[in-house]
Structure 1
Amino acid sequence: MGNDRANPPTDAEQLAQRYRTLVEHSPDGVVVHEGGILVYVNPAIVRLLGATSAEELVGKPVTRFVDPKSVPGMLRRIRRLTETGDASEAAEMTLVRRDGSTVDVETVSVLTAWQNQLAYQVVVHDLSAQRAAEAAQRRAEQHFSTVVAQLEEGVVVIDRRGYIESINPAALRIFGVEGEDMIGTPLYLLPMTLLDANAVPMSPTRHPVARTLNSGETVVGYVFGVDRPDGQRRWLSGSSRLLNPGDPQSSAVSSFTDITEFRASRRQLEYQATHDPLTGLANRALVLSRLAAALGTTEDLPVSTVLFIDLDGFKAINDTLGHAIGDTVLQIVAQRLQRGLREDDIVGRIGGDEFLVLLSGRTLGEDLDALVTRLRQAMAEPIIARGHRIQVDASIGITPLHPGDGRSPEAVLHDADVAMYRAKPPGHRDNAPLSRRPNSSNAS
């Protein structure tokens, strides 16, 4: 022991000891081969090759544990090492384990001195975990691609320049370009016209996906349209978001659903809820709603005058000729009213043979008289229905509106009804004003 204290380890010996300790505990395999024979292996390579001890490997040819396909490359790399300390580039190769199975690794060879002889020290990194992760990623990407391809929802990925990176079959179908290759196509060259929710053409720079690309903002629930190459117009409900939110250079993904049929059915339902099914005119609810909006404005009244129109003797037509002919008469009267009014005027059927007209803008007295005369004349023209020549006259009640008019829509309707009743010829005053009489026949 005294001799040990007298001769402490040199710095080189201490460095060598630390290096041996590091190599022995390294998670990467380390081997040394001299003249093609393994002369050293660390524990990690013993485990990697499926051996139980270093003795099973040392003294064996290094090529015994290298896949034949990897041997030529290995030899080329080590032949390039000419000076002590030279290192090869990192290269992938395949090793053969003791049981014959293979394992992919990455290796770096260094020409070094080993017990006064030149040898090759090789660091071996197991790629199994990396390969497994890559395979899992490929499976996930394939699974994702398969799912996206099967979606009924259109999905398009757009890069920062506005070019299509990927597009699924549903999007191609919705755009009317099935079978075409859209990858790499800029949005502005797509063979279709983009529309905003009001059917106004818009450039790709106004589409919400452009907002997502510019600001990173997620935009959901917007409606836009496309006019396709085949002339069809499709309405879509879409969302746009960044593909990788943490990446400022991320592409954007736009997904959308075809709502054309839904939009059409909703509009049809809205139309049915606000229009008379027999004549196609606005119904009572819609006319009173427009009247309420006019009365509620603080600016110039958009409606100047309300006309209440009732057909004289219509009950006799129903009673003698039947409701089918009565319905035909109402439809023809509705058409004549529409032709006799201006485009901004509103005409509706409020029940039975009663119609309400909202005259828009300011109407001078002489113009109003001329309009009422023209309407009476139009409706007085004989109607031919199923071989019957029918004469229809109309009574028209007039109620003007004034700025600051404090009446409710129902009060205006009542006043117009009273005015109509007073305008009826004496022989047709069979009914009291609307608020005090039952519904007429042919009521909607």
Structure 2
Amino acid sequence: MKAQGHDPADRAAPADHAAPAELFALLLDSMLEPFVLLQAVRTPDGAVVDFEFIDANAAALAVYQMGRQQLLGQRLSALHPAAMTTELFGMYVAVVDEGKPIVLDDWVYPQDIFEGRPMRYDVRAVKVGDCVSQTWRDVTDRYEAARALADSEASLRLITEHSTDVIMRVDNAGICEWASPSTTATLGWQVDEIVGTRVGDLVHPDHRDPAESARKALMADSSAVITAPFRCKDGTYLWLEGAMSPLRDPSTGAVVGRVGTLRDVDARTRASQRLEQSEAKFRAAMESAPAGMALVGLDRSCQQVNGSLCRILGRSEEALTGRFVSDFLDPPDDEIDQQMRRELLAGPAASVTREHEMIRSDGTRLWVEHSIALLRDRQGEPESYVSQFIDVTDSRLARERLTFLATHDTLTELLNRRELVGRLEALLIESEPDVRIAAMFIDVDGLKQINDSLGHSVGDQVIAAVASRLRENVRPHDLVGRFGGDEFVVVLVGLSSLRDALATAARVQEDVCEPVRLGRGRRTVPVSVSIGLAMAERADDPELLLSRADQALYRAKETGRACTVLYDPDDPSWRRPRRR
């Protein structure tokens, strides 16, 4: 591949008569992932002392913030001096001298290469002649999200049940203890056929030594990455790639096994082995891409699709080819797609990226990150589009779930204390002087006795029932939160007078105090609540207002419970409504 003197306009050859190399160059420039081609610089005796940039796609030029002519001819030692003194340079040398590919996941580059917070990348590099062909993907968000998800059992369950990756938990002997449902779709084995077997026995015999080394690394209290062919139920082998991490006993900290994910990289791996066949470069690159890809005409018809897109949409290549993009989109998402293409036709942008939903063959929807690049003919006229689709359904749902869990109580799904206080602070700052705000501090009477006599599961049912009744008795813009245990807080917004607040408290007392039916049976538990009510003053902050309501609640509990007490700073004796 020649890069020096290669004008970007020369890459925009018509798909129907351009050379394969030109089509391959156009595809590279449409890729989301950066790509560079580094040629070895050798001494007279053949030793590699440096590498020279001889080709790069548009994504790589954006990373380096250089034009093509600025970057081509640059030496690795000049752009990345730290790379010459780290293991990265040695890995480059091993690629060109030994043909050893680079497969790095969650790789952290030296800080003098990428400044700021630690950035993580998936890096792939293979030998092409005396050059290193390298691509990389920024996976920092994926890495940080994975760490955050590990703290949430609910989010982890969501990912494991819906992820297309194979997720396994094995003991120290390598015996599978649990496997995700995606195991069947990926390898053909039923989950109960995998559980209880030694995972290493599924690895191709020629690759078992690296797999065993990875297992020993885990036993030495470190993470490990494995890429190997795994045996499918039909006897064939499928290349999987994944990261495994130690699993610890929470009480002792001892390593009791490991957990990890395995991703189907079979198409990419096998395609990488054929990359040196120049006559198949365009097709090989398209088929090896982990993202779904399509060559789309100006009329938005799919002219060519790859296997990843077929898998994403659950449709065969024949079912996609010739169909219009609009056939797989709901009207709002179709408008997004059309707007993206209008932006490309109207402006200088090389590509446009948006997130939207698509329709699978079974009618279900999935979220994709859709990137479109415009291909032009030799005269510079629009010729066709290259679309790339990355399934972000799991990560999007996980982000939404994590956001919800960070701001809500898991049992009642009400606002948690931090979120309610934050919203109350904003209300107190932004509200108009004539708009009244009130806070009700609510305590479930006798919850401890319910827990002690009937069990915490019954107590949880009572808490959930009270939470539901509170939501039903306030307006949509009022705030309802659980502060922990048996305490709730309701913030009433936009009141015209104290009478409105007292009426709401009375309505809550009447409705919440109805007995709670347990499960589907006839057994009920009597419930009552004590309420402390305080009206916000102009200079109040959240803590002061809630403190007043809490004092009123304490007085209500002293009074005999099942009543509402109003905090009145001007009357030391306070006013109390008559007990029901």
Query: What TM-score results when the alignment is normalised by the length of structure 1?
Result: 0.56
Any residues of structure 2 matched to 1:12-411 within 5 Å, and which?
142-187=280-325, 190-194=326-330, 200-203=332-335, 206-219=338-351, 221-228=353-360, 230-244=362-376, 248-251=380-383, 252-297=385-430, 304-385=437-518, 389-401=524-536, 405-411=538-544
What amino acid does structure 2 have at the position aligned with 1:174? I
Match of residue 107 from structure 1: none
Which SS does the other structure have where 2:430 is aligned? coil
C-alpha separation between the residues in 2 aligned to 1:255 and 1:318? 55
1:303, CA displacement in angstroms? 7.8
C-alpha separation between the residues in 2 aligned to 1:389 and 1:276? 25
What amino acid does structure 2 have at the position aligned with 1:407? D
Higher relative contact order (CA 8 A, sep 6+): 1
What amino acid does structure 1 have at the position aligned with 2:350? T
Q: Percent identity?
A: 33
1:320, CA displacement in angstroms? 3.5
| Greater Rg by CA | 1
Query: What TM-score results when the alignment is normalised by the length of structure 2?
Result: 0.44
1:376, CA displacement in angstroms? 0.6
Q: Classify 1:134/1:254 alpha carbon distance in 2 versus 1 (closer, same or farther; 3 Å).
A: closer
Cα offsets for 1:399-444 (capped at 9, x unmatched): 2336xx4433222221221222233352459xxxxxxxxxxxxxxx
Contact 1:191 1:228 in 2 (8 A): no
1:236, CA displacement in angstroms? 0.9
C-alpha separation between the residues in 2 aligned to 1:241 and 1:135? 18
What amino acid does structure 2 have at the position aligned with 1:226? M
Q: Classify 1:142/1:428 alpha carbon distance in 2 versus 1 (closer, same or farther; 3 Å).
A: same
Q: Classify 1:338/1:399 alpha carbon distance in 2 versus 1 (closer, same or farther; 3 Å).
A: same
Cα offsets for 1:77-105 (capped at 9, x unmatched): xxxxxxxxxxxxxxxxxxxxxxxxxxxxx
Cα offsets for 1:48-75 (capped at 9, x unmatched): xxxxxxxxxxxxxxxxxxxxxxxxxxxx
Q: Classify 1:138/1:413 alpha carbon distance in 2 versus 1 (closer, same or farther; 3 Å).
A: closer
Q: Classify 1:258/1:303 alpha carbon distance in 2 versus 1 (closer, same or farther; 3 Å).
A: farther
Which SS does the other structure have where 1:341 is aligned? coil
1:266, CA displacement in angstroms? 1.8
Q: How many residues align?
A: 289
1:177, CA displacement in angstroms? 3.6
More deviation in 171-180 or 144-153? 171-180
Match of residue 441 from structure 1: none
RMSD over aligned Cα atoms: 3.4
1:259, CA displacement in angstroms? 0.6
What amino acid does structure 2 have at the position aligned with 1:191? D
Contact 2:351 2:373 in 1 (8 A): yes
C-alpha separation between the residues in 1 aligned to 2:309 and 2:473? 48
Match of residue 216 from structure 2: none
Match of residue 75 from structure 2: none
1:353, CA displacement in angstroms? 0.5
Contact 1:216 1:241 in 2 (8 A): no
What amino acid does structure 1 have at the position aligned with 2:328? M
C-alpha separation between the residues in 2 aligned to 1:315 and 1:295? 34
More deviation in 385-394 or 414-423? 385-394
What amino acid does structure 2 have at the position aligned with 1:241? A
C-alpha separation between the residues in 2 aligned to 1:293 and 1:239? 38
Which SS does the other structure have where 2:290 is aligned? coil
Which SS does the other structure have where 1:272 is aligned? helix
Which SS does the other structure have where 1:231 is aligned? coil
Cα offsets for 1:93-124 (capped at 9, x unmatched): xxxxxxxxxxxxxxxxxxxxxxxxxxxxxxxx
What amino acid does structure 1 have at the position aligned with 2:318? E
Show structure 2 runs of 5+ residues with no match: 1-17, 26-278, 563-580
Q: Classify 1:138/1:243 alpha carbon distance in 2 versus 1 (closer, same or farther; 3 Å).
A: closer
C-alpha separation between the residues in 2 aligned to 1:316 and 1:138? 75
C-alpha separation between the residues in 2 aligned to 1:225 and 1:135? 33
What amino acid does structure 2 have at the position aligned with 1:249? E
1:262, CA displacement in angstroms? 1.3
C-alpha separation between the residues in 1 aligned to 2:375 and 2:20? 22
